[in-house]
Every structure is written in structure tokens, then in C-alpha cells.
Structure 1
Amino acid sequence: MKRIPLFFFLFVPVLLFAQFFDQKDGRDYQVIFVETDDFGVEYLDEIEQSLAEIKQPELRLRLLNDLGYHYHTRNLRKSLSIINRGLQEAQGLKNDLWLARMQVSQGAILLRMEELDQAEEVLLSAKMKLPEVESWLLLTNLGYVYERRGDLGMAFEYATKTLELGKKYSDQKAMAMAYSDISNLFWKQGKFEKGVEYGLKSIALFEDRGIKDLDFDFTLHVLGNNLVELGRVEEALPYFLRSIAIGTQYGFYNNLSDTYIALTELYRQTEDFKNAEISGKEALKYAELLQNEFMVVRSLHALGRLKNQEGDFESAVVYLDRSIRTATEDFGDLYYLGLIYRDLSEAYEGTKNITASFQAFKKHNELQQQVFNAEADQRIALLQTEMDVNQKESTISLQLERLKRQEIIQIFTLVFTVVMVFFLFFLYRVFVKRKKYSLLLEKQNREKEFLLKEIHHRVKNNLETISSLLALQTAQIENQELQEIMVESQNRVQSMGMIHQNLYQGENLAAIEMKHYFENLGRFIIDSFDASERIRLEVSMKPLELNVDRAIPIGLIVNELITNSLKYAFPDQRVGEISISLEEKNAHLYLRIADDGVGMGSTTQLKGTGFGSQLVQLLTRQLDGKMTLSTQQGTELYFEFKIEQAA
């Protein structure tokens, strides 16, 4: 059973629908199976009747999606028709979000109609448009596609992704569904203890949530399945009965069929054949009402398996053969198809039709190997022998030929074993050599990393020495203009020193994290002008790493422009703000440096025409960039650099 949480609305009585939808009377509606489960089986009829009164586009799309999806529990063809109508309206409104949600519902319905490839295609299309917070619903259904194909490994992977998203967004429903799916997959793998463990985790989350919905109903029956396989039928029965009560209350035909199939197995194990047959026929009834071939196949299989245990092998063959014919060759779920062939083999064996029994079991073995790589050699060998005896082919010559073949097989096995021993020994030697080489490379990499960090450290120390010498020289200069030139030079050296400091202190020896670098550089320059009390620095950008070749020239540009702002934008000890941002987009870097100072009037040139201005222009050309100046409010400079061609 495949499931998506529902986002429906419950409105009672029907005559009040329009008032609720246009909210003219100020009343709020409740989202069913999200905010409430206090209603009966007639809710689909009420929602369908209300659609004619709804004009608000967003609300219409929501109702069409919810109504269409939930109808999959009663009538698959009608469900698909409603969703197709919703898709047309969403496309007409060009509403990609609701188009994606409709596609998730469409994929879930196609899945139940055994259109696995089409379901996968629709779900993958929706994935491109759906936000991550909702994508766990889509991932869950993709997992069901792989489960039905028999690829339980991929199905488990998608269930794990659903669980991770549920934890990331603290979504209790997503986590509960993931645990439920994992429990079901463990049941299919025969790991029933683990199935019970995860089923109980799911039930706990659903009960804490306090809503009895389609997925909670399904999880009750999954937990019961695992308990039955462990022989704990008394514990399983209450879960099944509770599941049936919920399914009956809301009209969940699919879940009802599923649970009655499970009850058939429970009563079969306890040899209560009367109730087992009643449950099997109830399962078949709901499957046929739903027009779901997958559930019809499973219901017929449950009845056939029951007849096998009763010893009524003729009836078992009828049920199981009908089950296989309903499935057809395109039936996607190899797991269930394999089980049907296994039980059909037993039924044919009971009717003494050994040839048919062998062929059925051979088919079962092929299917099980595709899903689990199951071991069935002993059973096949036994049936093969019985078939040979039944066909009266056990002559002396045949026996001698068989002995010869066995001798050949023994010799081949011996030779093969020797070859494999030598091959494994060779692989071991290769592994040892590769491991030694890998350890040597790892050691060399650590040494190179240490040396590279040491180089950056020494370069940083040398630049700090130069900066200190410049500071000492500045202290001895009395000329104010010359002092400013020396301070600017010191800041340029410091900006490059900070690059190398970040390199040897960081994890990445080839790149600089620019946001942290701008913050440190800005604070240093502001402090060097003794302006930290009145000038605030704002670095409004996301963390971004650049290689050294780009980081150094961009750092020098920022150094010059912050210095320029401090010199000219805030005269007379004005208070103000300098902001910096850098982002990468479409193979370009976009740098913005702005201040809220006095501005530059109508000029389009930077103040100061000396070395600093020339350096900014030179560095901009070096990075194959262009600069734009705006002086409407304060001063803003924009730079655009091409990443591919940057030096």
C-alpha cells in the first residue's frame, strides 16, 4: 500500500460550504487528516459537492488535489480523472507548485494502477518543481516504485532519505511514514524482529500526532504482519482489528483489502479456516470495488495459500492460477509474484502434477533470486528428480550418464576451487601492495600539506615584518600626507598577509573564505584610522571561497575602497556605515562596496587620483572586470568579474 499525507478540508453541513470557502462569515475551516479526524465516510461526497461553489483558484486546486488523491482508496479511475482535471487547471494558471503537487498525486495513483514506469516519470518531473520541505512525499512514492519492482535496496534508500528530511524539518508525519516503510521492507526481507522494532517507532509517532489517517491505518497492519510471522498472533490481532475499524470509518478500501489479507494469514496459521476464508473473500471484495489489480492478485493468493493448508489443492490451483492470470506478465511486484508461484508449486505437487509443480517452483526461484538471491537449489533438485521418475526416464544408461556428469562436475569443482584459491591469493597480494602504496601517498600528502602551511606561515610572518617596519617608519614621519601614504601601504601589506594567515590556519590550502576575510580586513583598516567607535562595518554575504589568485587582488581592491571611504566619506568625525558584499552567479563574481557618507556630488570618478585609484583600476583590468560608480545615496561601487578568464 502506497501513501501520501492528505491536505483536505472538512465542511459541515454541505449548505455552509460556500460560507466557509469565501470566509465571509469569518469562520475557519479545518484541514482533515491534518488538524482533525472527527468525521465519517461521507466526507468525499461533501467535498465533491462543494467544488461547484468554489471560485478561488488556490482553494480549487487544493480541493481537486485532495479529493483526487483520496479517491484512490475507493475508485482508481475516478481518482485519476479528478487529478487530470486539477493538472489542467494548474497548467492554465501557470502555478508550478500546485502542478508539482498534482503530479505527486498522479504518480501515486498510477503506481496503484501498475503503471510503474509512467509513475516514475511523473514523479521525477515533479521533483524539479517541488520545494525540499515537501519533497519527502515525492521520495516516499519513488521508493514505492522500486519496492514494487522488487528493488528493495533502492526502496530502503528512499525511505532513509524520507527519514532524514523528516528529522531536518522536525516533521513528525514524515518520520512516522519512513519508519512505517522501513518496517514493511524488513517484513519483505524476512527480518521480522527489525520490522516490529520500526513498526512500534512509527506507531508511537502517529499516536503522539493524534490523527487517525490512511498511513496510521496502514502501519497498524504492517506491524501486525511482522508479529504474525514471529508467531505472536495474539499480539497481532488487535492491530488488525484496529486497522479495519479505521478503514471502515473512512472508506479506505485499499487498506481494508490489505488488512483482510493479513487476517487471512493469521487465521490460517491458527487453523481457523472458516474465519480465514471469510477474511480472504472480504479482501477480494474490497480489491474488486477499488478495481486494483495488485490487491486482487494478493487476495486470490491469500485464498490459494489457505486452500493449500486445508489440503484442497484443486481449489488452491484455481485461486492461484487466477491470481497469476490477473497479474499478467507485466506485473511489477516480483516479490509477490514469486510467492504466488511458490504456493502454486505446492498446489500442483498436491495434485500429483510434478511437471507443473517443478515449472512453477522454477519460476518462483527465478523471481526470488532477482529480489533476494534466495537459495532454492535443494527444492529444485528434489522436484527435478521426481519429474524424471514420473516421466519414466530412469534407465541404466541415463544413470550412468548422470554419474559421468557428476564426476565431471566434481573435477570441475576441484579445478575451479584451486583456481579460486590462487586468484584470491593474488588479490590479497595486490591488496597488500596497494595498501602500502596508499599509506605512502597519504604520508607524502601530509608532509606536503605541512610544508605548504609552513610556507604560507612564513610568508605571512614576512609580510607582518614589512608591515611593522612600515609602522615604525610612519611613526618617525611628521608630514601628514606622507604618513597617510605609509598607513595605506601598511594596510595593503596587511591585506595580503591576512590571505596567507587564512590559508595556513584553514582546512583548505588553496582557497580563502571571503566573508570572514572581509570582516577581519575591515576591522583592521577601521582600527588603523582610529574609527571603530563611529564607523560600523556590515558584510552582508554568504560564505564564499575563492582561490588565492582572485582573493589577493579583490582584497586589495576592498582595502583601497574602505580606505577611500574612511578618508573622504565621513568628515568631521561623522558616524556611518560601510557595507561589503560578494556573490558568485552565472560564472561571474559581483562585488559591492558602499558607504552612507557625504557622497561625491555629480562626479563619476573616485576621489583621490593617486596611486590608490590607479591600483583599483589596474586590479579590475587584471581580473577582466568592470566597475560601476553610483553617488545617489552616499557612494556605491559595483564590480563584475568574469571567473573563467580571471588571471
Structure 2
Amino acid sequence: AISCFRRLGLLNTMPGQYLSELGTQLLKENDPVPDTLPLVLAGKAAVDSELNANRSAVSMRSLVDNNGRVGAIILCRDVTELRRREQELQTKNATISEIHHRVKNNLQAVSALLRLQARKTQSDEVKKELQEAQRRVQTIAMVHEGLSQTADEVVDFDKVIANLLRMAVDLATMKDQHIEINYMGKFGMMPAQDATPLSLVLTELITNSVEHGFEGRKEGHITISVGRSGPNLNVVVEDDGSGLGSEEQGGMARSSGSGLGTQIINTFVTNDFGGSVNWEPRREGGTRVVLDMKLRAAQDE
């Protein structure tokens, strides 16, 4: 106890002194004072409290005799290092959140520039490529927005992907089209290392489905089924569109424009996740895409 109070800045001798007076001497004007501290220092209640002074912290608990208080035993523990580490962790988390927030803002600025450039160009082909680039940048920005709202590098992927895919559908559909998306299962919490590439893969698949599977149709339905067990992730994307021939070509998504979307799907799934992409005809009509992957970050945990 003497060592703990020396850490707090006490210079006086402790034997024969009132602990409440010693504690009062240590406290400065802006030092935090828990409501339970006076009770512990006076030995009036068997509760936990903490005395913070001189950039140090001591955890205390008084043990009181129920038959009548004639004194108290104060258990002291130096928790200075523990509090310092907690404060460093809070600072680190706040810094990481701020970084994600700034990255998101910068990506949104890039997205806005691409959108402005697409509006000014006279070429339909260039306009389409710029719009696709804008959508991909916006996809990454929304992942960082989700990460900026958490205390760690993990994001609620179900919430993020629902907004992303709705945006992808809205951008790909024509004015008189109505495409509905349904979900089965949960992705759960996902580290940034996996969330960003997976969000790009899914938005490319949805965009491919809308542009090719529902071309010339007024309405349609897309269902995303998720199965996750540890690092193993199975995602099935089904639509009731025109069928496999309109969406798949050579075992890959049908290319339009530069074909970058096809490369994104296959590169991330096969190289980054060590998985596979299988295109199948849907039994009721339409297309079924099965993704089998291993999440990298989850595998390391």
C-alpha cells in the first residue's frame, strides 16, 4: 500500500494518518474522483474504487466488518500500467477510425470526379467505363465508411453489402426496371482484409446479372444465400433472368466493355481467397453462381 501511494505522489509517512486525508492531499483540481472513492478511503463501504493522481492509478477495495465498523482493511493494487495501455488502445482505435474516415472521404471525392467526367464526355463507351470505375470506387468507399464506425478493423458485412448491392442494382437498371434482392443467411462480422475484395466480387456479379440476365425485362429477382463456418465461406447468387447463356461465357462472367469486372471476380476469388467460381443453370430458370472461398483474415485468427 505504501508503494502504491508513493506512486501517486505521497511524500508523508502513512502510519497513524487518516487514509481519507492522505487521499484528499493527493487529488488535484482536475483529477477524476469516482463517487465510491470517499466511501473506500473512509472504510465505510465494501466497494471497488480507483484513485488517480500524479499520472498514476491505484485500485482499492475496503473490507468492512458487518458487526460494526472499528476500522477497515484497504486492498491496493497499482493499475497505472493497465490504464496506460487502455488509453493507448483507445487512441489507436480512434486513429484507425479517423484514417478510414479520411480514406472514405478521399474515395468519395474521386468518385465525384469520375461522375462529373462521365457527364461531360460525348462517347457512350467512355461514359460507361467511367461510370463503372465510379461504382467500384464508391464500393470501396462504403466499406471504409463501415470500418470508420467501429473500434477495430472489423465491419458488419451484412449491413455494408446490403447498401452496396442496392446501389449496384440502381446504377445498372434502366428507368422502367425493378429488380428485387433477397438474402438468406448472414455474412457476420468481417475484417477489412476480406470485406473489400468480397464486396467488389459481389457487386460485379450483381451488376453482371442485371445488365445481361435482365436485359429487356421489366422486373426480376436476385437471391443471395450465405453459408459460413469459420474461415470457409459459401455464397450462391441466383437470378430468374434470361439464363446461363446470357450471363456466362467460357466459365466466367460475360464480358462487357473492358472486361475488368470479369477479371475482378476471378482474380479475387481464385487468387486472394483460394476459392472457385462455378456457373450453373438455375433449375427454375435463370442463372446460379456458386462461390466457395476461404477468408484469409479469419483463417489467421
Q: TM-score range by the shorter chain?
A: 0.5 to 0.7
Cα deviation code 1:490-520 (max 9, x no counterpart): 11111111111011123x5221212111210
Please provide the CA RMSD for this pair. 2.5
Gap change, CA 1:463 and 1:620, over 3 Å in 2: same
**1: CA distance, partners of 2:172 / 2:265:** 20
**Larger relative contact order (CA 8 Å, sep ≥ 6):** 2
2:162 is the counterpart of 1:516: no
2:268 is the counterpart of 1:611: no
- Residue type of the partner of 1:527? D
**1: CA distance, partners of 2:296 / 2:98:** 30
2:216 counterpart SS class: helix
Gap change, CA 1:530 and 1:608, over 3 Å in 2: closer
1:490 — aligned with what?
A: 134
1:163 — aligned with what?
A: none
Gap change, CA 1:530 and 1:640, over 3 Å in 2: closer
- Residue type of the partner of 2:242? V
2:182 counterpart SS class: strand
Superposed counterparts of 1:216-255, under 5 Å? none
Superposed counterparts of 1:100-139, under 5 Å? none
**2: CA distance, partners of 1:564 / 1:644:** 26
Cα deviation code 1:389-432 (max 9, x no counterpart): xxxxxxxxxxxxxxxxxxxxxxxxxxxxxxxx9xx78x62xx1x
2:253 counterpart SS class: coil
1:442 — aligned with what?
A: 86
**2: CA distance, partners of 1:560 / 1:449:** 32
2:288 is the counterpart of 1:639: no
Percent sequence identity over matched residues? 28
1:620 — aligned with what?
A: 269
1:104 — aligned with what?
A: none
1:544–1:583: 8 Å Cα contact kept in structure 2? no
2:277–2:292: 8 Å Cα contact kept in structure 1? yes
Cα deviation code 1:330-375 (max 9, x no counterpart): xxxxxxxxxxxxxxxxxxxxxxxxxxxxxxxxxxxxxxxxxxxxxx
1:451 counterpart SS class: helix
**2: CA distance, partners of 1:643 / 1:615:** 17
Larger Rg: 1
Q: TM-score, normalised by structure 2?
A: 0.66
1:629 — aligned with what?
A: 279
2:109 — aligned with what?
A: 465
2:197 is the counterpart of 1:548: no
- Residue type of the partner of 1:620? V
1:598 — aligned with what?
A: 242
Q: Pick from 521, 526, 543: which aligns with 2:169? A: 526
Q: TM-score, normalised by structure 1?
A: 0.32
Q: Pick from 129, 132, 145: which aligns with 1:501? A: 145
2:223–2:237: 8 Å Cα contact kept in structure 1? yes
- Residue type of the partner of 1:641? M
**1: CA distance, partners of 2:231 / 2:195:** 16
Deviation at 1:543, TM superposition (A): 5.2
**1: CA distance, partners of 2:223 / 2:119:** 30
**2: CA distance, partners of 1:452 / 1:524:** 26
1:590–1:641: 8 Å Cα contact kept in structure 2? yes
Deviation at 1:644, TM superposition (A): 5.6
1:351 — aligned with what?
A: none
**Structure 1 unaligned spans of 5+:** 1-420
Cα deviation code 1:307-335 (max 9, x no counterpart): xxxxxxxxxxxxxxxxxxxxxxxxxxxxx
**2: CA distance, partners of 1:452 / 1:510:** 8
Q: Pick from 227, 230, 236: which aligns with 1:583? A: 227
Q: Comparing both structures, which one devotes a greater share of its residues to strand?
A: 2
**1: CA distance, partners of 2:242 / 2:253:** 13
Q: Comparing both structures, which one devotes a greater share of its residues to helix?
A: 1
- Residue type of the partner of 2:169? I
